[in-house]
Amino acid sequence: MEPLEIAKKIKERFPDQVIDVEEHRGQVGVIVKKDRIVELLRWLHDDPALHLNHLADLCGVDYLGKKDVRFEVVYNLYSIPLRHGIRIRAQVPEDDCQIESVTSIWMGADWHERECYDLLGITFGGHPDLRRILLPDGWEGHPLRKDYPLDGGGKNWSGYDKVLERSKKLRKYDFYGTYQDPTKKTGIEDARE
Amino acid sequence: MLENKAQLRLVKGDEATHEPYTIAMGPQHPATHGVLKLDLELDGETVLECKPTVGFLHRGVEKLAENLSYAQTLPLTDRLDYIASMANNVAYSIAVEKLLDIEVPLRAKYIRTMVMEMARLTGHLLWLATHALDIGAMTVFLYCFREREILLDMFEEICGARLTTSYTCIGGVRQDVTGHFLESLYDFTEDFPSKIKEYETLIDKNRIWLKRTQDVGIVSAEDAVSLGLTGPTLRGSGVDYDVRKHMPYDAYPYVKFEVPIGSKGDVYDRYRCRMEEMHQSNSIIRQCIEALPTGPIRAADAPDLVMPYGIQKKVAADATFSSGIIKLVKDSERYIEGDVYVAAEVPKGELGFYFVSDGKGVPYRMHIRSPSYIHIGALSFLCKGQMVADVIAIIGSVDVVLGECDR
């Protein structure tokens, strides 16, 4: 089935949910509201004429200052037996940064959603184990948000500070005098400044 | 057989005679193929729960890509799956070409298909070597590295690097292949099937190998699709899904090959799938060499991304020779708002790139769908109820590389 036909079918089935249909380079994205996302995706997964059984990709996008609704969660779906695909883009506003989890439809969505939570701070309701995954547990902020600085803002991660403290304690075992203070600046760094 | 045993143990676990305990496997462990940590909750030798921890190698490639131009991000893709970086280069390039609507010349398409299959061979050879080593077959390791070395030398010949190749560029490939390279590659493909047979004589009917791999880590077709498994890991369960056939790119529509699929979905089936795939890759390389057309190796209409081929006039007009740097023309018509998701079949599975462009020279958002990440996520499902020793076999059979997983 052509992607535009699938988009039309979704529009017929969920007329109040579909906001817009966008086409770019032959690929179609359907922008939807987040309210009935699980119901919509389950229908796409189970309907025999669509049968979109492969969740190729799930990720979040931050449209800070670009769009009225800040976040979008993007589901790239593909049907292995029927060989067609479509993209569903669910809008998630900043003040209600939460969307229902689709782990009940695809088991593989588990880690996709954890990554999305970790890097963009979008919460997934009903997720079995929503923790940080790529970053350590004590990390502050969500790096893929557009207002997160690229260089980290000059502050050390709290875990790194703990390591430094520990290394100070263990310095008494430095019998050979080879210890180097990692917080102390070397000549190379000075030259760069 | 083993599964039944494992279930028996699970039932016994309720009794108060012994209690479950936890061990941390990794992140420094030779059988985890990188910095992967598994928290195993065990009852005797049966795995009750397996919780993988990743992220030790996270470098923020996606955040970096948002601040680099499309051409500058290409070398970063080498560092994803560093075992078969050529395949990553191709996957990234076809995604950007789709986003910017660039038509690649036919010769470049054939060269890319060729190097991608070479990358698949290097990836599968390293997988076979380490997988066999994990299970206890040391000799296979040495045999596989013998052939992998030849392929890496050939990579060095065409692009100067063995691992971090950065060979493709957006709109084509960086350098043309030489006659010597094609000859030596053709010689290699003539020998290689006999080499695969050599590996098979070592392990294919080996009783220890069969005991360690058959009926271990079974995953049904339905579960495999639901878990998002791709590549040979999915095809071992009998699902016919290969991006090269489903969404053909480069020269794959012009070559003939079959997609080997398994039936049972155990470690042995996945092993057989990859072995058959090596035969197919070998045949694809041969077909590409035989049908390699002449012509340009870079698209003429991607002036901001590559040195233009055959439109020197346009460059000369905009060139600032005084500073010694040739300023390339920016074609603003190419950069329009929109998003694409393009996938390619790399040795590990489906490597997808999702791009959102806002009309600037840098991507607004780039998301990498890495197969290793999804496969490690599936480990907790695959390892449940298995023996500790089989966890090693399962990690090997899903074929993960942590550089790609953590990005």
pLDDT band for position B18 (50/70/90)?
A: low
pLDDT of residue A189: 53
Chosen from B354, B368, B402 to mutate, greatest number of chain A CBs within 10 A: B354
More confident residue, B323 or A123: A123
Of B63, B246, B373, the CB nearest to A111: B373
pLDDT of residue A96: 86
Is residue B311 predicted with pLDDT exceeding 60? no
pLDDT of residue B295: 83
Is residue B298 predicted with pLDDT exceeding 50? yes
pLDDT band for position B283 (50/70/90)?
A: very high
Distance CA A87, CA A85 (A): 7
pLDDT band for position B6 (50/70/90)?
A: low
Question: Is the distance from CB of B37 to CB of B70 less than 8 angstroms?
Answer: no
Residue B143: CB atoms within 10 A of its CB come to 18
Q: What percent of chain B has pLDDT over 90?
A: 16
Of B62, B99, B246, the CB nearest to A144: B62
Is residue B316 predicted with pLDDT exceeding 80? no
Angle of helix B138-159 relative to helix B179-203, nearest 10 degrees, comes to 170
| A 35-74: CB under 8 A from B | 53-57, 59, 61-62, 66, 74
pLDDT band for position B37 (50/70/90)?
A: confident
Which residues neighbour B256 within 8 Å (Cβ) at sequence distance 6 or greater?
B283, B287
pLDDT tens for A3-54 read: 888 888 888 888 888 888 888 888 888 999 888 888 888 888 888 888 888 9
Distance CA A160, CA B191 (A): 52
Q: Which of B235, B287, B230 is nearest to B257 (CA)?
A: B287
pLDDT tens for A98-155 read: 898 998 889 888 899 999 999 888 998 888 888 888 888 878 888 888 888 887 666 7
Is residue A187 predicted with pLDDT exceeding 60? no
Is residue A186 predicted with pLDDT exceeding 70? no
Owner of token pair 């950007």:
B96
Distance CA B197, CA A182 (A): 53
pLDDT of residue B1: 46
pLDDT band for position B134 (50/70/90)?
A: confident
Of A66, A83, A150, the CB nearest to B246: A83
Query: In B, which residues are within 8 Å of A115 by CB distance?
Result: 373
- pTM for the model stands at 0.86
pLDDT tens for B256-267 read: 989 998 888 888
Distance CA A38, CA A5 (A): 21
pLDDT of residue B136: 81
∠ Cα B33 B34 B38 (to 5°) = 85
pLDDT of residue A74: 92
Contact B55 A25 (CB under 8 A): no
The residue-averaged pLDDT of B184-189 equals 91
Does residue B365 belong to the interface with chain A, where contact is any CB pair within 8 Å?
yes
Question: Is the distance from CB of A131 to CB of A137 less than 8 angstroms?
Answer: yes
pLDDT band for position B33 (50/70/90)?
A: confident
Reply yes or no: is the peptide bond before residue B27 cis, omega within 30 of 0.
Answer: yes
Q: Which of A22-26, A132-136, B41-45, B120-124 has the highest mean pLDDT?
A: B120-124
pLDDT tens for A70-108 read: 898 999 999 988 888 899 999 988 888 889 899 888 988
How many CA atoms within 13 Å lie on the side-chain side of B311?
16
Secondary structure class of A157 (helix, strand, coil) = coil
Q: Where are the alpha helices (DSSP H) in chain A?
A: 3-13, 37-46, 109-120, 158-169, 187-192
Run of H or E including A28: strand A27-33
Of A55, A109, A150, the CB nearest to B63: A150
The residue-averaged pLDDT of B43-63 equals 87
Query: Where in chain B is CATH 1.10.645.10?
Result: 61-301+336-405
pLDDT, averaged across chain B: 83
Distance CA B230, CA B216 (A): 19
pLDDT band for position B122 (50/70/90)?
A: very high
Task: Report residue B42: phi and psi, to 5°.
Answer: -115, 150
pLDDT of residue B327: 46
How many CA atoms within 13 Å lie on the side-chain side of A126?
11
Q: Under CATH, what is the fold of the domain B61-301+336-405?
A: Cytochrome-c3 Hydrogenase; chain B (1.10.645)
The residue-averaged pLDDT of B18-28 equals 80
The amino acid present at A21, given as its one-letter code, is V
Q: Which of B113, B74, B130, B41 is nearest to B385 (CA)?
A: B41
Q: What ipTM does the predicted assembly reach? A: 0.84
Question: Is the distance from CB of B33 to CB of B402 less than 8 angstroms?
Answer: yes
